[in-house]
A and B are shown apart, each in its own frame.
Chain A
């Protein structure tokens, strides 16, 4: 700026808004203090590839669960699985799931047990009564459309699924599930109804509906509880699940096996590596214009 020779020390520019235009300086004056308080990449966390890979196991684990459900659907539609073995599968799933929940959460009382049994029996009765309706639901639609619709619903389900928690909460949980996870859950339920409607007998429909609902509703809760209980157990369980799933897919179809293996490798190896690589492009700006964060919790 111009030198003011008449006064010994010319007024310095100050970063203030009051007092009108500062003498000797225009309103668009910009000096070295401009953007002085800007902080770049203050809260960027360095990620460890091993940690990211371990975390991504949750995703591949759930992929395997959904793949197993689809396998059961496919075998049932081919009539390789009869209704009795399906019902046996349902009962064993219900039993093991309940056992795992009880063991990991460590909460059990006679009252609660009675409550659960009552709820489950209501649920099963309702499903049994509705089974004939499901059976004839999509009779006028071709199987191809139903398969296409089911696959797209499952993709939607996987896309919106809450991989970090569980849509169905353990009793006493505080937070409500998010909208996306609810949409995801509903998509999976609709997909199971569509598949069940292609089956020949009422008992088939009932068995497959019960199976799908058990898995889609409670598998995330069970795996979440296992993960919370012990991370090592979670890893072990996931790896076992992956091997089993891959074996079954291999028995079903060669090409599907290759695709599924590729998907698992992509989720567990390629994506974590990719995430670490693009970290260097991360650019975060903070400054006095940011909204202040409250340092206490708001409990509504």
Chain B
């Protein structure tokens, strides 16, 4: 029951409502059954937009044998396009391979606006490109930060510049992320909106009573990889254990750095004080969180960090590295920030332990309810959609001039790619006219409200 109660609040219509109902296609390579920040964002945003009376369709690639059309909670329709991922859940970039199926979906579902997520999703880039060719307004959300130095980043930044050259509006999850995106893509800052992630506070409630007060439990839940600062943990944990005999650690998560953590535990004989849980399924994150007092985040780069929100919502005091968008996420009295340096982090944990008696998890939870809310996120996204639809539609030549200004060589290349896309689209229009594609009738589900999020309740129709 719990997870939905705060979403249901939205059923009582909000005072202000979009003057028209949008028909939105969300595109990303990352969606359920995968789990993570982007997946969560798309799911909750879609659910809230559905509640507001918009039509939302999600498009992603096939996961295992999950291919075709599925329905999720609240009648959220998901197209699992039968393209296989080839690396890190990404589809193989083919430029034009997805044009026919994207065109079919756009016409079948009478879509008015396409919303792509995540800069390293190839499906998202391709969908936005085809949608622009077909004259749809597109919105793009960037969920991650990129540097400017290494070859990978330079390549990704060029791809992003290509996609964003002609995007109607862009969204970033934090102000730092906005600065980063503006620098990477050369968009005017007025076109980039900052809309943070949120947390389903109903799913992350603090424990009715706090775990025993004679020992302090520090919880870490993250993938144990370099970028999440697992090496920092290896340095920090023994130091903290030496300073505070009443501190215990619970480390949830798996990854290549797990071996190093286990070595550290062995070396300092901390087996009874550092518990390693391995990968924690998302549904059990709360139960791990509420067993602790302090949440430790050691990321080296982070655009937003939903994990901190989940911890704060469970009433934990957060200690985090001061990187990326993390300082913007919580008010100063709910988080202790430290430089990504073991010594400074130990000091921060010391400060957090001294602050701990003043923290009331229930009060913290109530505050989080006011600070973050998916409905607020959806409302703000709705405004961006309205703005995107106000953008004047341009013809091909006007749009090409935007691409041309992207760089001496890249500009010409981008133009070529777009012209070919346009010709292919024209050819498809002749070969399979839009009138021949059957439109899907809109089914309005009776207001259903039961339980588990991400429950997938449908028959498996095959796509085409």
Measured CB to CB, the residues of A under 8 A from B are 15-21, 26-28, 30, 34-35, 37-38, 284-285, 287-296, 298, 300
Q: Which of B370-409 contact A (CB under 8 A)?
A: 370-373, 376, 380, 383-384
Of the residues B145, B192, B300, B328, contact of A28 by C-beta under 8 Å? B192
Tell me the B327-348 residues at the A interface (CB within 8 Å): 328-331, 340-342
Chain A interface mostly: loop
Considering only CB atoms, which chain A residue lies closest to B171 in the complex?
Answer: A27
Pairwise interchain contact B330-A292, C-beta atoms closer than 8 A: no
Given A27-B380, A34-B179, 15 more A-B residue pairs with CB atoms under 8 Å apart are A15-B328, A17-B173, A17-B174, A17-B196, A17-B325, A18-B329, A18-B331, A20-B376, A28-B191, A28-B193, A35-B183, A284-B149, A291-B145, A292-B340, A295-B341
> In the assembled complex, which residues on chain A have CB atoms less than 8 Å from the CB atom of B371?
18-20
22 A-B pairs with C-beta separation under 8 A: A15-B175, A16-B175, A17-B196, A17-B304, A17-B325, A18-B329, A26-B383, A27-B193, A27-B384, A30-B189, A34-B178, A34-B179, A284-B149, A289-B147, A289-B177, A289-B303, A290-B147, A291-B147, A292-B321, A292-B323, A293-B340, A294-B231
Q: Of residues A17, A30, A34, which shows the largest number of chain B Cβ atoms within 10 Å of its Cβ? A: A17
Q: Check: B176 CB closer than 8 A to any chain A CB.
A: yes
Answer yes or no: B244 CB below 8 A from chain A CBs.
no
Are B179 and A289 within 8 A (Cβ)? Answer: yes
B235 at the interface (CB under 8 A from A): yes
- Output the least CB separation between A144 and chain B (Å): 37
Q: Is B413 an interface residue (CB 8 A)?
A: no
A21 engages B304 (CB within 8 Å): no
Question: Judging by beta carbons under 8 Å apart, are A289 and B231 in contact?
Answer: no
Given contacts A17-B174, A288-B324, A291-B301, contact A27 B194 (CB under 8 A): yes
Residue of B nearest to A298 (CB): B231
CB–CB A294/B232 < 8 A: yes
How far apart are the CA atoms of A296 and B189 in the complex, in Å? 37
Kindly supply a per-residue 1/0 record for chain B positions 140-166, scoring 1 wherever the CB is within 8 Å of any chain A CB and 0 otherwise. Answer: 000001111100000000000000000
Bound-state Cα–Cα, A290 to B184, Å: 13
The 3 closest A-B pairs by CB, nearest first: A17-B196, A292-B340, A289-B180
Whether a CB of chain A sits under 8 angstroms from the CB of B108 is no
Determine if A285 and B194 form an interchain contact, defined as CB atoms under 8 angstroms apart: no
Bound complex: CA A293 to CA B147 (Å) = 12
Which residue on B lies nearest to A296, using beta carbons? B235
CB distance A294 to B179 under 8 Å? Answer: no
Is B268 an interface residue when CB atoms closer than 8 A count as contact? no
Say if the beta carbon of B195 comes within 8 Å of chain A.
yes
The answer on a CB contact under 8 Å between A30 and B190 is yes
> In the assembled complex, how far is the CB of residue A26 from the closest CB belonging to chain B, in whole angstroms?
8
CB of B342 to closest CB in A, whole Å: 7
CB–CB B301/A27 < 8 A: no
Q: How far is the CA of A26 from the CA of B383 in the complex (A)?
A: 10
Chain A residues near B176 (CB-CB < 8 A): 287-289
A296 touches B342 (CB 8 A): yes
Partner of A291, one of B300, B304, B376: B300
Contacts of B66 in A (CB 8 A): none
The answer to the question of B260 belonging to the interface, with a C-beta cut-off of 8 Å to chain A, is yes
Interchain CB contact (< 8 A) of A294 among B191, B300, B370: B300
Known: A35-B183, A300-B260. Contact between A289 and B145, CB under 8 A?
yes
A92 to chain B, nearest CB (A): 45
Instruction: Provide the bound-state CA to CA distance between A296 and B341, in Å.
Output: 8
* Closest-CB distance, A44 to chain B (whole angstroms): 12
Q: Nearest residue in A to B147 (C-beta to C-beta)?
A: A290
- How far is A27 from B370 in the complex, measured between Cα atoms in Å? 18
Q: Which of B178, B182, B380 contacts A21 (CB 8 A)?
A: B380
Let me know if A18 and B147 touch, CB within 8 A: no
- Least distance between B2 CB and chain A CB atoms (Å): 23
B432 within 8 A of A: no
Q: Please tell me if B227 contacts chain A, counting CB pairs below 8 Å.
A: yes
Q: Give the distance to chain A from B436, nearest Cβ to Cβ, in Å.
A: 40
List B residues 188-211 near A (Cβ within 8 Å).
189-196
B175 neighbours in A (Cβ, 8 Å): 15-17
Which residues of B sit under 8 angstroms from A34, Cβ to Cβ? 178-179, 189
Instruction: Please give, as numbers and ranges, the residues of chain A lying within 8 Å of B232 by CB-CB distance.
Output: 294
Per the bound structure, the CA–CA distance linking A150 and B376 in Å amounts to 68
Taking each of A37, A289, A295, A298, which has the highest tally of chain B beta carbons within 10 Å of its own beta carbon? A289
- The interface residues of chain B lying within 8 Å CB-to-CB of A16 are 175, 328, 331
The residue among A15, A292, A294 with the most chain B CB atoms within 10 A of its own CB is A292
CB distance from B395 to the nearest CB of A (A): 26
Given contacts A17-B174, A27-B384, contact A38 B183 (CB under 8 A): yes
Query: Which B residues are in CB contact (< 8 Å) with A20?
Result: 371, 373, 376, 380
- Least distance between B340 CB and chain A CB atoms (Å): 4
Distance between Cα atoms of A234 and B331 in the complex (Å): 60
Given that A17-B325, A291-B227 are contacting pairs, would A38 and B179 also be in contact in the complex, using a CB cutoff of 8 Å?
A: yes
Contact residue among A17, A30, A35, A289 (Cβ-Cβ distance under 8 Å from B146): A289
Most chain B CB atoms below 10 A, which of A16, A28, A298: A28
Closest chain-B Cβ to A131's Cβ sits at a distance in Å of 44
Alpha-carbon distance between A21 and B372 when the two chains are bound, in angstroms: 10
A19 CB to closest chain B CB (Å) equals 5
A19 neighbours in B (Cβ, 8 Å): 370-371
Q: Which residues of B contact A296 (CB under 8 A)?
A: 235, 342
Docked Cα-Cα span, A26 to B194, in Å, equals 9
| Most chain B Cβ neighbours within 10 Å, of A21, A291, A300 | A291
CA distance A26 to B173 in the complex (A): 15
Identity of the chain B residue whose Cβ is nearest the Cβ of A35 in the assembled complex: B179
**What residues of chain B lie closer than 8 Å to A294, measured between beta carbons?**
231-232, 300, 340
Nearest residue, chain A, Cβ from B230: A298
The complex places the Cα of A292 from the Cα of B148 at a distance, in Å, of 13
Which B228-256 residues sit within 8 Å CB-CB of chain A?
229, 231-232, 235
